[in-house]
Amino acid sequence: MTKRVLIVKTSSMGDVLHTLPALTDACQMIDDIEFDWVVEENFAQIPSWHFAVNRVIPVAIRRWRKSWFSHSVRAERKQFIAALRLQQYDCIIDAQGLIKSALLITRKARGAKHGLDKNSAREPIASWFYDQKHFVAKNQHAVERVRQLFAQSLGYTLPNKIGDYAIAKHFLAALPHDNQQYLVFLHATTRDDKHWTEDEWRRLITLIEPTGYKVKLPWGAAHEYERSLRLAEGFSHVEVLPKLTLAEVATILAGAKAVVSVDTGLSHLTAALDRPNITLYGPTDPKLIGGYGCNQHRLISPQKSMPSILAKDVYQQLMQLI
């Protein structure tokens, strides 16, 4: 009989991607297992890329909280709860570890509820809502923490190997026909202090020009599009991409020869696609939430400052990859 499991991992993009290897572990260790997944609507495409996910249940807590008691939001919340309770689960795993995920989602689902204990969860009160509470040490990478939570919740020994996202093959059939002769530069991030300077991006673009590689610049918001235009100005080998869906961005990343990125969700997507990637770190510490997987490289500023990272150093490391 199929073992039916509900995953509660709603956001952010990096956190959702970091959950994928745990599904692959479970499929390798349990013969007949199937997952449903509750995820924020903006990231609902991601779980569908994994072969073991049967149903994606979008939730919109980020949007709903702006008008929680409005008629339309109350109707949406009611529809969500109905969808959530359609299935009786053998195991419900709250991998988010927050009060809102435990109270608004996990508690309402049907089945045995598993999550981090009070010493492991980001918000210890969340553990009050779980039937089974598991200790997972905090001083390790987020991917490994989720893998351990799944292993304890589902009762198997964690495989002694690097986690496998298992989504790269989803994009193989849709790869661009560029013979992987292009690079992708991911310049957009939410925090100002995680941005690399435009001058250094343009210096790197200048250094790339004689190699014959094209450079593709994806973007999401209007101000990121404007920055892309500034970075590309005067360079014939740089393409500012049109507005793309997350799946379309993933296809572009999957076909890249290599990627250079700041600390952003798309950097984690690059890692999940097993593409060679150099991530630039200034004020953030990559030890616990940095790029995880094959071909992932870090360039960390000793001064914890993005402007101190030089294009020539990025270029030298990039040439070693390609």
CATH code of the domain covering residue 209: 3.40.50.2000
Q: Residue 146's beta-bridge partner residues?
A: none
Asked whether residue 199 falls in the same domain as residue 149, the answer is no
Position 172 scores a pLDDT of: 80
Beta strand pairing call for 110-116 and 132-134 = parallel
Q: Per the structure block, which two tokens stand in for 104?
A: 């608004």
Asked whether residue 277 falls in the same domain as residue 173, the answer is yes
Residue 279, H or E segment = strand 277-281
Q: In the structure, what pLDDT confidence band is assigned to residue 175 with cuts at 50, 70 and 90?
A: confident
Number of domains, the chain = 2
- Cα separation, 20 vs 147, whole angstroms: 9
Burial tier of 52 (Cβ tally within 10 Å: 0-12, 13-18, 19+): middle
Q: At what angle do helices 13-29 and 265-272 cross, to 10 degrees?
A: 20
Asked whether residue 95 falls in the same domain as residue 211, the answer is no
Asked whether residue 220 falls in the same domain as residue 291, the answer is yes
Three-class DSSP category at 183: strand
Asked whether residue 187 falls in the same domain as residue 95, the answer is no
Asked whether residue 130 falls in the same domain as residue 97, the answer is yes
Asked whether residue 137 falls in the same domain as residue 237, the answer is no
Q: At what angle do helices 142-154 and 13-29 cross, to 10 degrees?
A: 40
Position 177 scores a pLDDT of: 65
Residue in the structure block whose two tokens are 């001058």: 199
Asked whether residue 122 falls in the same domain as residue 192, the answer is no
Position 178 scores a pLDDT of: 56
Instruction: Confirm if 198 and 231 have CB atoms less than 8 A apart.
Output: yes
Q: In the structure, what pLDDT confidence band is assigned to residue 154 with cuts at 50, 70 and 90?
A: very high
Half-sphere exposure (Cβ direction) of 303: Cα atoms closer than 13 Å = 7
- Residue 41's domain comprises 3-166
Asked whether residue 193 falls in the same domain as residue 300, the answer is yes
Cβ partners under 8 Å of residue 162, min gap 6? 293, 294
The domain boundary, picked from 136, 166, 196, lies at 166
More confident residue, 104 or 181: 104
pLDDT in tens, 224-250: 999 999 999 999 999 999 999 999 999
